[in-house]
Amino acid sequence: MVATAAPLVAQGVMLVTLLAMRRWAFALMIVPSLIGCAAMLLVRSAQPTATGPDPAQAPSSAVGTPHADDGSDDAARFGLIRPSSLERLLALERGDDPLPWRTIARRWLEPGSLDVPVGMGEDGEFRLDLAGQGPHALVAGTTGSGKSVLLQSWCLALACRNPPDALRFVFLDFKGGSAFRALEGLPHCVGSVNDLDLGHAARALHAIEHELRRRERLVAHGRAQDVDGLREPPPRLVIMVDEFHALKDQLPDTVDRLVRIASLGRALGMHVVACTQHPSGQVSAEMKANMTLGLCLRVRDGMQSTELIGDARAARIPPSLPGAAYRADGETVRAWRCAACADIPRLTDAIATAARFHGCVPPPALFTAPLPRRLATLPAVRAGAGMPFGLKDDGMTLAVAYLPVDRGNIGVIGQHGRGKTNLLAVLARHLTETPAETPVAVRFTSRDARGYRTRTLRPIGPASRARRYDATGAGGPPRPPRAVWIVDDAGPLFDPFGDDPLCAELRRALDDHRTTVVFAVETSRHVRIPDHCPFRVVFPTADRAADLMNGIPADLWASMGDDMTSPGRAALIGRGCAAAVQCVLDRGR
């Protein structure tokens, strides 16, 4: 009562003072407040006087009545939710289905869907729809809360519902690869990396961005609003990222690619599921704006929970309930428990068998591992593509590297001991051992203490393939024999003041379109580029200025990193293109 009467008395004194000073306007302003305080005093005085607080209720009144969103009711319900295995949800338990691949193959005959069961809720089966509730999801949970199990079960449920022709996965695991290692055998997997090889992870993000641009071109070319409007839409691509905060810390310059996918992925059939321990401060606001589906397992503090589901209830999930989580889809917040897979190898084998039954062609890898430091053999080569000499890396995938001996001279530039002589030996061996439609004259010139020595190499091939012409020309118009001259340690022969007889011969051969000269030099000081060699294999020196002068682009030089000094590592430079290569070892050594 005193607390209510004090403002009334103070305002009464102020009103009297203003009237005495004849401040009529200010006095009128005090009147409404004075009337309100008087009315409140009358209401309070009409209420019965309390005899005192109930001791039993004192702690409750001191703490306050629990709010509806404090999670106390939902936390109690976790104990009422009946846990289940993923196999039971998918009707693939051993007792019910001894051959689960048949059930999976039958489901793949139905239209694909991203709406799959992943656990149990208060009302029974709990489902997640990445397309309808997403298109992207943010998963939060501390260590031991069940994040990895959730991601595994979600991926397996999606794979059991959709064939590899309709859905594919990319796994980015930044806690050593343990979360997705068991899922790499899925036929849906087109790439998996971890933080043990950051270079490989950067390639994956680069490949994902390249796939984004490819889908943009498909939609633009098909004049459609999204990929679903195309006549042959590409498969849905789900990018699973475990420990997103580690990705941001270790590769800060590349994480923006995932942000771009989050903003454009809905129309392009690309989905990002980012998992982190700290959603607050680790995931940018721009990325969160496109992640309408939030899954929050147990977190350490209420701020992390509030960031994802709007209140602190996930911080009160007991550690004894791994897999307990809340789902916030922008409309409601529901409590549920994740269903763990009892036998992941059995389920992945069943999915792989179903893919073979459907005749699914294994999808090409979205990205590959980086170039090896040592290359002993080459994979299958294409006939007529040129001379294979190594593996080429375009920043995402590896392919056999070829040298076009019929399109101009080839320069091999590099310091001693980097692999120039080995490369020339590989090319010579290929020319002599591969059958040719027309005879090719091959010469090999090398240098020792006594000077240059030249020997002629004879190609090996069926005599029937060599064209024969008679004097009358009945066999067709004669073709001039093509010559390939391989010159090792050719630096002194390019010296304009050189007096060796081979200097003039080399200059004539460089200008002869019927002869391809493949020469090796330690420096390009006297080599006219591109007049003398439109194609070059440059072994970097790790000196940026020298390597740029030899023709290695700045961005390629930066991407080669520490591997540029490895034996056999080089840059293949041609007309308008450049790529890192690893040269194969000569089998004769």
What number of other Cβ atoms are within 10 A of residue 520's Cβ? Answer: 23
Dihedral sign for Cα atoms in the order 155, 159, 164, 165: negative
Q: Tell me the HSE value of 270 on the side-chain side, using a 13 A CA sphere.
A: 21
144 in a labelled binding site: yes
Let me know: does 176 contact 197? Beta carbons within 8 Å. Answer: no
12 in a labelled binding site: no
148 in a labelled binding site: yes
How far is the C-alpha of 271 from the C-alpha of 227, rounded, in Å?
A: 13
The Cα angle at residue 167 between residues 166 and 172, in degrees rounded to 5: 160
Which residues are CB-neighbours of 367 under 8 A, at least 6 positions away? 191, 203, 204, 206, 207, 396, 397
Helix 100-107 to helix 147-161 angle (10° resolution) is 70
Let me know: does 283 contact 277? Beta carbons within 8 Å. Answer: no
How far is the C-alpha of 249 from the C-alpha of 487, rounded, in Å?
A: 50
288 in a labelled binding site: no
Query: For residue 244, which amino acid is it?
Result: F
How far is the C-alpha of 144 from the C-alpha of 165, rounded, in Å?
A: 34
What number of other Cβ atoms are within 10 A of residue 493's Cβ? Answer: 22
146 in a labelled binding site: yes
Kind and range of the H or E run holding 240: strand 236-242
Let me know: does 407 contact 451? Beta carbons within 8 Å. Answer: no
145 in a labelled binding site: yes
How far is the C-alpha of 144 from the C-alpha of 83, rounded, in Å?
A: 17
How far is the C-alpha of 284 from the C-alpha of 268, rounded, in Å?
A: 22
Q: Tell me the HSE value of 62 on the side-chain side, using a 13 A CA sphere.
A: 7
Both tokens of 222, joined, read 């098909």
Let me know: does 489 contact 447? Beta carbons within 8 Å. Answer: yes
Length of the chain: 589
How far is the C-alpha of 434 from the C-alpha of 495, rounded, in Å?
A: 34
559 in a labelled binding site: no
Identify the DSSP state of 340: B
368 in a labelled binding site: no
CA distances to 220, 406, 420 from 199, rounded to whole Å, are 32, 35, 27
**CA-based radius of gyration for the chain:** 37
- Residues within the annotated binding site? 141-148
- Residues within the annotated binding site for ATP? 141-148
